[in-house]
Structure 1
Amino acid sequence: MGTVRPVDLKVQPAPYQIRYSVLQKIVKTLEKFEDATSNAGKRAIELEASVARKSGSGQSYRFNSSVLIRDLIKTRGKLEEPGSSGLRSKRNGVKDKLTKAAVMKSLEAILIDGPTLSANGYNTGNLGEVDTVGCISAMGSERDFTTCIRCNSKFDKIKIMSPATCRFHVQRKRYNRETREGEYACCGETTSSTSFLALGCKTLPHHVFRAETFEAMSNISPFRNTSDVDGEINVLALDCEMAFTSCGYELIRLTVVDFFSSEVVFDEIVQPFGEVIDLNSEFSGVHTIDKSKSVSFAKMLELVLNNKMINANSILIGHGMENDLNVLRLIHKKIIDTAILYPRGKFKSSLKDLTFEAVSKRIQTGEHDSSEDAKATMWVLKAKLGIPLQQSVWD
C-alpha cells in the first residue's frame, strides 16, 4: 500500500502533520480487521476527512479522531454508517447501550486545558485572598477616569450616578459586502451616515464601565477557587445574566441545569452589590430585582458552592463561560466551553447560530433567558457527541 495523505480542506482544524499522523493510525486500525484485498487506505482517508470537516478546532479534532479510532476497535472496523463516529456504535445490527460512564469519559476527553482557558479570559490563578472592600471604597476618593463601554466617553467613576448623556448603538456594526461599509443592525445607520442617529440610536442618562482585570473584580468581591470545595462528581450547564451598576458589570441571574437529567437545579435572581443603572432587560430578560424575592450574592454562593452542586469534581459546561465565571467570581478547572470547541473559523460562534446548526432549534428570538441558554449549550454538546437530547435515564 502506498503512503496515504489527508485530503486538502478549505479550513484546516489541525496542522498537516497531526492530520497525517491520525490518518496513519486509522489505516493501521482498519488493517487489523479487514482482509488484504480491501482498500483500507481509501476508507481511512474518507473517515479522517469526515472527522476533519466536522471539527472546529484542533482540540475537537483530536477528540473526534480518538473517538473514531475507539469505535473502529470496538466494532472491529464496522461503524453505524460510513464516516460516523461518536458514543453510539452498532454491532450485529444492535446499538450499544449508552452509559453514564461512557459519557463521562467522553466529556473528560474534551476538557479545556489551562493555557487555553487563560487565553480565553478565564481566571486560572488564585485571587481568593483579596478581601472584599465594596465598590465605593474600592474606587477611593480621588478622581478615577475610565471609558464608557457603550459610548466611549471618558468619565469619572466617582460620579457614575450623576446624570450624563450616553448615546450609543445597541448592536455592534457589521460589514456590508454590498455597500462596502459598516452598518449597525439595530437601526440601519452606516458608518458614512451624517444624520443625528449616526452617533447612536439609544440615549441613556448614565455612563457605564466594566472591570477589565481580575484584581479590579476582586476589589468588589473576591474570587473563590472551587478546588477548595469537595463534593460529588456531576456535570452542570450554567448561564448568567448581567447588568450595569454603580460597581460595574454584575451578576443578576444564575441558572444551573443538570446535564444528565436536563432538570434546572438552580435559577435565581441575584442582588448586585451596586446601585442598578441598567438591567439590560432587552438582553437579560430581567426587568426588576425585588429584594424579597431574590438572593444576595453571598447567599447565592452558599446555595451553589457545595458537595451537591458546584464543587471541585464538577464539570461545568457553558458558551463563552469566562464571562459567567468572572461575574460569579469563581475559579474552576474542569471546563467545557462550546465557544472554544466549535468556533466559526478564526472567530467564536454565537450560541444562537450554533444551536440552530447543531439541533435545528431557534433561541434568543426575543429577550435572553439564562435557562434557555444553559439548556441550549447542553443540547449543542450532546448533539456533537451523539448523545440523545431526551435521554434522562442512565446506567
Structure 2
Amino acid sequence: MANTLAALKTLLCPAGDSCTAFQCLFSHPRDNSGSNQTPITSKVLNNQNTSKVSTASRAHPSEDNKDSTSEDRQRKRIKLDVDSTAVSLPRSSVPTSSSKMPSSKQRKEPPVDTSATIQKDGSPSILIPNSSPPTETSKRTLSQQAEHRQSSIANPAAPTDSPSRTPVTQPKQPRKGPESLNPRLLKKAPASHPTRVALVKALHKEFQRLNDELKKTAQGVEKKWLLSEQELIVKTLDEEQEIAIKKTAIYNTAIRNKILTYKKMSMVQWKDERSKVVQSTNHNSTEPASTTPIERIETGLTLPQELEFLSRLVYDLAPLAAHGYISKIPSKEDIEAAKAGVRACGNTETCDRCTRRFQVFPGRREADGALASNGPCTYHPGKSYFLDRSRTQRRFKCCQRSHDDEAGGCMTAQHHVFKTTDPKRLAAVLNFVNTPPNPGIPKDRAVSFDCEMGYTVYGLELIRLTVVSWPAGDTLLDILVRPVGEVLDLNTRFSGVRPEDLASAEQCDVGSDHQPNIIPTSNPTAQPERRLKVAASPKIARDILFTIISAETPLIGHGLENDLNAARIIHPTCIDTVLLWPHSRGLPMRNGLKYLMETKLGRKIQVDPTEGAPEGHDSAEDARAAGDLVRLKIRDEWKTMQMKGWTVGNAGELLAPSEDWTIVGGAKTKKH
C-alpha cells in the first residue's frame, strides 16, 4: 500500500495549483516554488537508473543548498536510457542491488535533455531542479498536461507497443475494386486456405442457384431482390468471414450447416430473406415504402380449394371449456344461481387493473349516483417484463418503473373495472344462443370476425363488432354497440372507441342499412371520414350478424372465445389462430396476434402513433390479419399433405393417396 501511495507522487495533480485537498497524494507545481527541491518524479527515476548517479542527486530535498551553482545542478542531471521515459511506475521496494543490469546494458549513452516538461501522450514529465518559481508558461503547460490526463482517463486509448506515443486508430479501409472467390485474410484462420476456398465456392454455388431461380420469375418489386455477380461474391465472403470470426472453434461444422440450409431453402424462403434485407437497407431511404406485402401467401390452391380446406382447420371447442370456450348454453337455474351469488357478495369485485376490491352499483347508487366505490384507479397500462435472464429486475413497459416501486401506477382512471369469464354470470346479462341456420347465405362464404369490448357495471361488454370476408378482406359489417350496463371505461386505449363516437353515431337495426356513413372533407387530398353506425344493444348487433352468416359459415378469428362470449354466440365451425399457432407452453398461454404477424409474415399491426395517446386497435385490421394467418397455415399444411401423396383431381378436388402407394424421399413409390 505504501508503495502504491508513493507512486501517486509521480503524477501531477489534475487540479494543479488550485487544489485544496488536505495532504493531496499527487504532486503540485507549487511544491518546488521558492526552493531548489528535486521533485519526487526525478528522485524515483534516479533510483531506477544505474548506480553511477551521484549521491547528491539522490539526497533528500531538504539537504540541497539554495545557492548551489549551475555546475552543481548540471552535475545532478540524470543520464537516462531511451526507455527510461516510459510511464511505468517505479518499484521502490526493490533493493538497489537488484537493479544492477548486465554489463552489456550498462553502456553509456549520450545524456538525455530532460528539460522538456511535457510529453506528447500527457505522461508525467521529468522536472529539473530550478531555484526560480514556475513561470506563467510552465503553469499553462502543467494545466494543459493535467487536462490532457483527465481526458485520457475518461477516454482511454487502446494500448500500443510504445506508451510514449499517442495511439492512433486507423479507420477501416473500404475494399477497393471487385473481389474474387478468395477467402479474406484473417488474423487467425479457422482452417487451411484450400479448405476455406472449397467451402466458399460451395456456398457461392447455392447463392447463385437461388438467385438464378428468382431471376426467372421475378416481377415488380421482386426484381430489386436480385443480386449481381459481384454482390453474390461479397455476400458469400461476408457469410464465410462472419462464421470464421464468431465460430472459429466449430468453423467446419458451422459453414457446412450454412451451405446445407441454403441447399434446402425453397424459393419462398429465399424471397422472404431477400425482401427483409432490401427493406432493412432502404430503411432510411426517402422513397415511399412499397405497399406490397413482405411475403405474398401462395397456397398453391384455388379459392374453392382453400374454402374446402378450411374444414380441416375447425376445432371442437367442447374440450376447451376450461380455457373460456363455451359450447353449452347455461340453463335458467344456473343463471339464477349466478345472480344470487352476486347479490350475496354485495356486487363486490376485484379490479382488473390494480387488483383492489371495490363495489359496483348497476343503475347508480341512490345516495350519490356513483357507479363504483373505492375512489379512482391508479394502475400501469403496460405489462411487466424482466430486464435480463436472471429474472431479478422487473419493470413496466409503459413507464419503465420497477415492479417493486411502491409509488403506484403511472395512469389514473375514474373508476375501477372488472371482467368475468363465468358463463353463468355472462348469461345473466344476455344469454347465449346457437348460430341459427340461414339458407340465404352462400355456401362458399367464410368470414373473419373481431370484437372490441369496454368495461361496464356488468364487466366486459361488446362495444364494436366487425366482420370481413375471407380471403378477400372486404368489410361486410362494422358497427358500434351500446352495452347493457352503464359504462365505467370504454378502454379506448385498446378498443379505439371514444364516448363521442357512441353519442353521435346514427342508429341501425336489423334489416336497415348498417354501412358506415362517408363524410367528405374540405381537403381533396385527405381521405373522407367514416362514421360507424350503432346498434342499440348487443342483442340487436348479434341479430344483424346472423343476417350475414349461418351455422355452416367458417368463423375465423384470434382468441375467438373472447369475441364469441362478448357477442354471446355458440358457433359450430370456428377456426382460431390461437389454436393453429399454439404457444410452446400450451394453453392458457397464447401467442399474440401482433407477435404472430411479425414473426410469421413480417408485417406490423396495432402500431401506436409516435406521439400522443394510442388510437386503439382497428378491429377490421385484426380480422384481416387472422385471415392471413389461416391462409399461411393452409399453405404449410398443403405442402405436408403433398409430401404424403395428396394430389389435386381433374375436377379440382383434393385426392388422398392410394393405400398401395407411399412417399419415400418426396417420390411416389409402390408399397411392397
What TM-score do you get using the length of structure 2 for normalisation? Answer: 0.40
Who is 2:481 aligned against? 270
Measured at CA, do residues 258 and 132 of structure 1 come closer, stay the same or move farther in structure 2, by a change above 3 Å? farther
Amino acid at match of 1:302: D
Who is 1:384 aligned against? 633
Three-state SS of the structure 2 residue aligned to 1:274 is coil
Aligned mates of 1:342, 1:331 — CA distance in 2: 22
8 A Cα contact 2:580 2:633, kept in partner = no
- What is the aligned counterpart of 2:316 among 110, 113, 120? 113
User: For 1:284-295, what aligned pairs fall within 5 Å after superposition?
Assistant: 284-288=495-499, 289-290=502-503, 292-293=505-506, 294-295=534-535
Who is 1:5 aligned against? none
Matched, 1:305 2:519: no
The CA deviation string for residues 322-345 of structure 1, in whole angstroms up to 9 with x for no partner, is 101000001112111111210231
Amino acid at match of 2:565: N
Query: Over alpha carbons, which structure has the higher Rg?
Result: 2
Matched, 1:244 2:455: yes
Who is 2:399 aligned against? 187
1:127, CA displacement in angstroms?
A: 2.7
Would you say how many aligned residue pairs link Structure 1 and Structure 2?
293
8 A Cα contact 1:128 1:223, kept in partner = no
- What is the aligned counterpart of 2:619 among 370, 379, 389? 370
Amino acid at match of 1:148: C
More strand by share: 1
1:126, CA displacement in angstroms?
A: 1.9
Aligned mates of 1:204, 1:118 — CA distance in 2: 33
Three-state SS of the structure 2 residue aligned to 1:212 is coil
Who is 1:80 aligned against? none
8 A Cα contact 1:131 1:222, kept in partner = no
User: For 1:116-127, what aligned pairs fall within 5 Å after superposition?
Assistant: 116-127=319-330
Matched, 1:326 2:565: yes
What TM-score do you get using the length of structure 1 for normalisation? Answer: 0.67
Amino acid at match of 2:454: A
Three-state SS of the structure 2 residue aligned to 1:255 is strand
1:188, CA displacement in angstroms?
A: 0.7
- What is the aligned counterpart of 1:161 among 362, 371, 383? 371
The CA deviation string for residues 167-199 of structure 1, in whole angstroms up to 9 with x for no partner, is 1111221222256222111111122334x2xx2
Who is 1:32 aligned against? none
Aligned mates of 1:331, 1:258 — CA distance in 2: 20
Aligned mates of 1:230, 1:172 — CA distance in 2: 46
Aligned mates of 2:328, 2:629 — CA distance in 1: 29
Aligned mates of 1:276, 1:235 — CA distance in 2: 33
8 A Cα contact 1:136 1:247, kept in partner = no
8 A Cα contact 2:372 2:416, kept in partner = no
Unaligned runs of 5+ in 2: 1-260, 270-297, 507-533, 609-615, 637-651, 653-672
Who is 1:102 aligned against? 305
Amino acid at match of 1:202: M
8 A Cα contact 1:138 1:220, kept in partner = no
Who is 1:175 aligned against? 386
8 A Cα contact 1:167 1:200, kept in partner = yes
Measured at CA, do residues 176 and 240 of structure 1 come closer, stay the same or move farther in structure 2, by a change above 3 Å? same
8 A Cα contact 2:435 2:571, kept in partner = yes
Matched, 1:214 2:423: yes
Three-state SS of the structure 2 residue aligned to 1:336 is strand
User: For 1:58-73, what aligned pairs fall within 5 Å after superposition?
Assistant: none
8 A Cα contact 2:418 2:459, kept in partner = yes
- What is the aligned counterpart of 1:353 among 582, 595, 610? 595
Amino acid at match of 1:217: L
1:104, CA displacement in angstroms?
A: 2.2
Unaligned runs of 5+ in 1: 1-45, 55-85, 89-97, 388-394
- Say which structure, 1 or 2, has more relative contact order (CA 8 Å, 6+ apart): 1
8 A Cα contact 2:360 2:372, kept in partner = no
8 A Cα contact 1:127 1:224, kept in partner = no
Aligned mates of 2:321, 2:447 — CA distance in 1: 21
Aligned mates of 1:132, 1:300 — CA distance in 2: 22
Three-state SS of the structure 1 residue aligned to 2:446 is strand
Amino acid at match of 2:350: T
Measured at CA, do residues 146 and 318 of structure 1 come closer, stay the same or move farther in structure 2, by a change above 3 Å? same
1:363, CA displacement in angstroms?
A: 0.5
8 A Cα contact 2:455 2:461, kept in partner = yes
Percentage of pairs with the same residue:
30
Measured at CA, do residues 340 and 292 of structure 1 come closer, stay the same or move farther in structure 2, by a change above 3 Å? same
Measured at CA, do residues 253 and 131 of structure 1 come closer, stay the same or move farther in structure 2, by a change above 3 Å? farther
Who is 1:59 aligned against? none
